[in-house]
Amino acid sequence: MSRILDHPVFGKIHERELVSFQFDEKTYQAYKDETIAAALLANGVRKLRVHEESGTPRGIYCNIGHCMECRVTVNGQANTRACLTVVEQGMIVESGKQLPNIIKRMVEQR
């Protein structure tokens, strides 16, 4: 994958600090202030979780925080939106593994 290397507002990417983080026990590099979703996409990772019922892969959908398709577990905190969460040095990110409580209740009521 590639990134925008020179942006009129954000500047030149090579001038930004690199940070390391883990996703599903594999180490990746991201630029400081990059979201988890952007960093994973730039590293070629498209699947962030699987659908709880069908098992189909899920990834980035809206990328603005409206949907819950990009939810992952960050440092033990489940249901974190990858598109809204900034990568931090040493962060441990895992594929999304469970439904948010409100959605879980809706599924159970069916």
pTM of the model: 0.81
Res 67 pLDDT > 60: yes
Name the residue among 11, 49, 48 with its Cα closest to residue 33. 11
Mean of pLDDT values over 101-108: 58
The reported pLDDT for the residue numbered 11 is 75
Specify burial of residue 88 (Cβ count, 10 A radius: 0-12, 13-18, 19+). middle
| pLDDT of 76 over the 80 cut | yes
Here the tokens at position 9 are: 């507002």
pLDDT of residue 6: 79
Q: Backbone phi, then psi, for 95, in 5-degree steps?
A: -50, 145
* pLDDT at 9 (0 to 100): 81
Angle at 10 between CA 87 and CA 21, to 5 degrees: 15
